[in-house]
Amino acid sequence: MANTRTKPFSLPEAMQGYLIEHNSAPSEHHRALIDHAETMAEGGMRLSTEAGTFLTILTHAIRPSFVVEVGTFIGYSSLCIAGALVDDARMLCCDVSEQWTDVARDAWQNAGVDGRIQLVIAPASETLAALPSDPPVDLAFIDADKSSYVDYYEELVPRLSPRGVIAVDNTMWAGRVLDTADTSEDTVAIRAFNDHVANDPRTTNVTVPIGDGITLISATAGVQ
């Protein structure tokens, strides 16, 4: 998950500040989660604020009926998505931590979106493998353990609706994907995922340099 204090590695500090000043400000419910993350040792795992706003706009544009999130943490990204869902849409959140998602549950309830969300506490690979083909997934967001990114992707691609989109966080990995001397587990996993997606003829992808990089993957190949 992205470190909230890590700006895109290619973006000058002054430009980062300028964009923050001109982007829409978080709502009071999002602000509460931002403040909560600041009190946590693991708070840097929260999705960046600008990436959250991006997900909100993406959700508005796609108008998904069924959303799957892999990696919920304290609920910032799911709050960004759920608040933009149409009334009859639903969202499945996958995580393994009761402690962190208890914070998410409170945030969803406070924002009035808890009725749209189903939280499953179990390994996400098992939850995804058990999903039926219907309803298809219109929007998926992956922001969990990097070593399993390819596995999550492979479970989700066959379940996507014809216009479905997968968004994946941390794919720029603060530029460490470019450092061949960095052979740490997560860096190697992100490189492997990026290579896997780039070479998949079933899909079309583009990485947007927001936060730590969000890769958008379309279910329809050859859309250029």
**Domain ranges within the chain, ordered by starting residue:** 13-218
What confidence score (pLDDT) does residue 19 get? 87
3.90.245.10, 3.20.20.140, 3.30.70.100, 3.40.50.150: CATH of 13-218: 3.40.50.150
What confidence score (pLDDT) does residue 221 get? 58
User: pLDDT tens track of the chain, all 224 residues?
Assistant: 433 334 455 678 898 889 889 999 999 999 999 998 888 878 778 888 999 999 999 999 999 999 999 999 999 999 999 999 998 999 999 999 999 999 999 999 999 999 999 999 999 999 999 999 899 999 999 999 999 999 999 999 999 999 999 999 999 999 999 999 999 999 999 999 999 999 999 999 999 999 899 999 998 755 55
Q: What is the DSSP string of 32-53?
A: HHHHHHHTSTTGGGSPPHHHHH
What confidence score (pLDDT) does residue 9 get? 59
What confidence score (pLDDT) does residue 44 get? 77
Of the candidates 15, 119, 109, the one whose C-alpha atom is nearest the C-alpha of residue 72 is 119
What confidence score (pLDDT) does residue 6 get? 45
Task: Report the chain's C-alpha Rg in angstroms.
Answer: 16
How far, rounded to the nearest angstrom, does the alpha carbon of residue 36 sit from its chain's CA centroid?
19
The rounded distance, in Å, linking the Cα atoms of 142 and 60 is 18
- What do you get for the CA distance between the two ends of the chain, in Å? 30
Q: Hey, is 94 helix, strand or coil?
A: strand
The rounded distance, in Å, linking the Cα atoms of 212 and 3 is 8
pTM for the full predicted model: 0.92
